[in-house]
Structure 1
Amino acid sequence: MDVNDSIQPVQATVSIVIPVHNGGERFRQCLASLEQWAALAQEIIIVVDGGTDQSWQWAKASGAKVLRFPSAGGPARARNAGAQMASGDILFFMDADVTLHTDTLQQIVDIFGKQPNLAALIGSYDDAPGESNFLSQYKNLFHHYTHQLAHEEASTFWGACGAIRRSIFLEIGGFDERFRYPSVEDIELGYRLKRAGHQIQLCKTVQVKHLKRWEPLSLLKAEFFYRALPWSELIWRDRQFVNDLNLKTSSRISLILAYSILVTFAFGLLWPSVFSVTLAFTLAFLCINGSVYQFFYQQRGFLFALCVIPWHWLYFIYGGLAFAMGTVRYHWFSRMGNTAHLPTIARL
């Protein structure tokens, strides 16, 4: 027997990095899942990004390595600080309001072990969100649906459930710390990875459970100011009009139809005959998104799927408005020669 046949490949080591700011009960559930399912990790590093609750004490009591900032500077800074402390080959970034599945870490180790050229991977939320209210179920299930149908060759990174080779992370400069609040710092990192020629894979079976509770105001604020608006500027900056995830062709057509419904309905209030056009646009909107509503019907039943429709329509309305505002803002600042403004939007 050749001596090389008896040599087993060295298993990559994993460092889990979690930023937390006033994590509350959800963070305690996150820690409980780590205690139960993170045996494969070489180390767990928790970066307490300011805050006024007991998150840092809970982190200390868990046995994790803990770094504490006296005031909040954002998850980008916190993750970078955790990465500097880490010693593992792979950095696995988690949010403080998610919990592991039994096989999450094992899958990550196996995937990187089998693909030496893979720079990073991202996973998905599962189909059983932790909060039971409608908006939390809708938002997190919609995220699950979007990732499950996306291309496996990803074009972005994801900080809630994303792993990256530590050497590449440090080489590329980590997250942009000008993002001072949870925003699109992970997407921006993914764009830089792709520009540098690195491979990112969406692994749909690598899943975590999201525990966040969404309410109307918190959802709209986060979606509009912290995601859609800065992402729109990022798209223009990097010219990343990728036909995937939330930027699919069907989504772009749906945006046009959503505004067509809104405009023709407004005209219909003055000229009722226009309502027939509104109806036509509405039917087209429902048809092109039929698979979305079918998914929600299978997951939660008819009434739930029915309630999804107006929120899904609103999603395109505020998304379109954010893209228009982001486009104007980007080109205005570009004309004035200021190209370093983009992350400041996340401070709104």
Structure 2
Amino acid sequence: MPPTVSVIVPTHNSAKTLGACLAAVHRLRHPVTEVIVVDDASTDDTRAVARRFPCRLLVTDRNAGPAAARNRGIRAATGDLLFFLDSDCAPEPDALGNALAVLREQPDVACVHGIYALEPLFDDGPVEAYRLTHGHHWRLRHVGRVRTTLFAICLIRREVFDTVGLFDEKLRASEDVEIGDRMGDRYGIVLTDTVVCRHDDDSRLGSLLAKQFRRSQMLIPVALAERGPAGIRANSAAGLLTAAAVPATLPTAPLTGGWPVLSLLFLVLFTVAEPALLRFVLRRRGLPFTLFFFAVHLLVQLAVVGGAVVGGIRHLTDRDFGPSRATAAKTSR
């Protein structure tokens, strides 16, 4: 008998996108056994949207984050395979079938996840175009066997959770990276460009920078807790370092006649720090958008660096800040 598939959609205040997500689920060419929507205490019309579709709706009383929502979906699901979708993602009709094909062709693989399309779910302007361009590129760069799981669109064998446990509900960011590290060498993980979804991404610069700052606070605690080699990274070390050097060298301007020579030099180095990214943006979006792209990208990298520094300090000073296994290790010492 072919394996049964449960679709799990964690959601919070996603009335704008959930309808498109669930409509796309019902256009999948491969049949699914059930669709489970886990509403994480939404305050908008998310539940009303979900009730328009043939799905099982689970509702939580308080907002507990995506890890807790996914865990509730896992406990409720009956399928042999679990197909996770973020509620702002709409899978292409062949996405599930292509993920199943990877599992059939590579029996040691237990987890298959995919990439964002360049085209948005809803076109909300240039900031969103920046996000999708960057997200599409860094995922493409890592296609193949990986050690990281990204659950925006992901098919995984149920048995994995019986072995490594569920998502760490302490984490509201990097929870998928952390569980992927726990999978370690036990299970094969594949990132493929044959499993594609259209994504509704951040479209306002201020909220994007705030989110990046908040989420990046878990980067160092999760990285320190990793037991295997580093997994997928959306941003390169060279890009982050040269971005940080741009404002850091501004105080040297009086030494060069009032001109921020060093800052300008590091700005150029930042732009070319990832040559493949520069070529990709130029080729797909053109020169005017490329200039806009790297201006926004600089601000995003600074938010990531700032968040990582703050998160590292919090991890050192607060024994409860970080993944459960990391804080447990600190407590035992």
Q: Distance in 2 between matches of 1:123 and 1:151?
A: 9
Whether the 8 Å contact between 2:218 and 2:322 is mirrored in structure 1 is yes
Matched, 1:302 2:287: yes
Whether the 8 Å contact between 2:131 and 2:202 is mirrored in structure 1 is no
- Residue 140 of structure 2: aligned partner: 148
1:332–1:34 distance in 2 versus 1, CA, 3 Å: same
CA drift at 1:99: 0.4
Q: Residues 90-128 of structure 1, C-alpha deviation per residue, up to 9 Å, x if partnerless?
A: 111101111010210111111112222112121110111
Q: Distance in 1 between matches of 2:30 and 2:53?
A: 13
Q: Which amino acid aligns with 1:229?
A: Q
Q: Which amino acid aligns with 1:96?
A: S
Q: Distance in 1 between matches of 2:88 and 2:50?
A: 14
1:38–1:71 distance in 2 versus 1, CA, 3 Å: farther
- Residue 235 of structure 1: aligned partner: 223
Q: Distance in 2 between matches of 1:90 and 1:200?
A: 14
1:122-271 alignment, distance < 5 Å: 122-130=113-121, 131-179=123-171, 181=172, 183-194=173-184, 197-225=186-214, 227-238=215-226, 242=230, 244-246=232-234, 251-269=236-254, 271=256
CA drift at 1:270: 5.5
Q: Distance in 2 between matches of 1:191 and 1:146?
A: 19
Q: Distance in 2 between matches of 1:281 and 1:212?
A: 29
CA drift at 1:200: 1.1
Q: Which runs of 5 or more structure 1 residues have no equivalent in the other structure?
A: 1-9
1:272–1:99 distance in 2 versus 1, CA, 3 Å: same
CA drift at 1:273: 6.8
CA drift at 1:325: 2.2
- Residue 42 of structure 2: aligned partner: 51
TM (norm. structure 2) is 0.89
Q: Distance in 2 between matches of 1:132 and 1:214?
A: 6
- Residue 15 of structure 1: aligned partner: 6
Whether the 8 Å contact between 1:14 and 1:91 is mirrored in structure 2 is yes
Matched, 1:320 2:305: yes
Q: Distance in 2 between matches of 1:218 and 1:38?
A: 36
Q: Distance in 1 between matches of 2:174 and 2:242?
A: 26
1:273–1:212 distance in 2 versus 1, CA, 3 Å: closer
Q: Distance in 2 between matches of 1:274 and 1:58?
A: 55
Whether the 8 Å contact between 1:129 and 1:141 is mirrored in structure 2 is no
**Larger deviation: 323-332 or 169-178?**
323-332
Q: Distance in 1 between matches of 2:140 and 2:250?
A: 34
**Larger deviation: 267-276 or 314-323?**
267-276
Q: Which amino acid aligns with 2:281?
A: F
- Residue 73 of structure 2: aligned partner: 82
Residue aligned with 1:116, SS: coil
- Residue 341 of structure 1: aligned partner: 321
Whether the 8 Å contact between 1:12 and 1:112 is mirrored in structure 2 is no
Q: Distance in 2 between matches of 1:241 and 1:254?
A: 20
Q: Which runs of 5 or more structure 2 residues have no equivalent in the other structure?
A: 325-333
**Larger deviation: 167-176 or 238-247?**
238-247
Q: Distance in 2 between matches of 1:70 and 1:271?
A: 59
Q: Which amino acid aligns with 2:126?
A: F
Q: 1:97 aligns with which of 72, 83, 88?
A: 88
Percent sequence identity is 27
CA drift at 1:308: 1.0
Residue aligned with 1:206, SS: strand
Instruction: State the aligned residue count.
Output: 323
1:284–1:197 distance in 2 versus 1, CA, 3 Å: same
Whether the 8 Å contact between 1:235 and 1:241 is mirrored in structure 2 is no
Whether the 8 Å contact between 2:143 and 2:193 is mirrored in structure 1 is no
Q: Distance in 2 between matches of 1:201 and 1:73?
A: 29
TM (norm. structure 1) is 0.85
- Residue 331 of structure 1: aligned partner: 316
Matched, 1:31 2:22: yes
- Structure with greater Cα Rg: 1
1:49–1:260 distance in 2 versus 1, CA, 3 Å: closer
- Residue 58 of structure 2: aligned partner: 67
1:38–1:230 distance in 2 versus 1, CA, 3 Å: farther
Q: Distance in 1 between matches of 2:237 and 2:202?
A: 28
CA drift at 1:269: 4.5
Q: Which amino acid aligns with 2:322?
A: L
Q: Residues 41-69 of structure 1, C-alpha deviation per residue, up to 9 Å, x if partnerless?
A: 12111112211333223323311122122
Whether the 8 Å contact between 2:85 and 2:151 is mirrored in structure 1 is yes
CA drift at 1:143: 0.7
Q: Residues 16-75 of structure 1, C-alpha deviation per residue, up to 9 Å, x if partnerless?
A: 100112211211111221222265212111112211333223323311122122332222
1:316–1:212 distance in 2 versus 1, CA, 3 Å: closer
Q: Tell me how large the CA RMSD over aligned residues is.
A: 2.2
Q: Which amino acid aligns with 1:178?
A: K
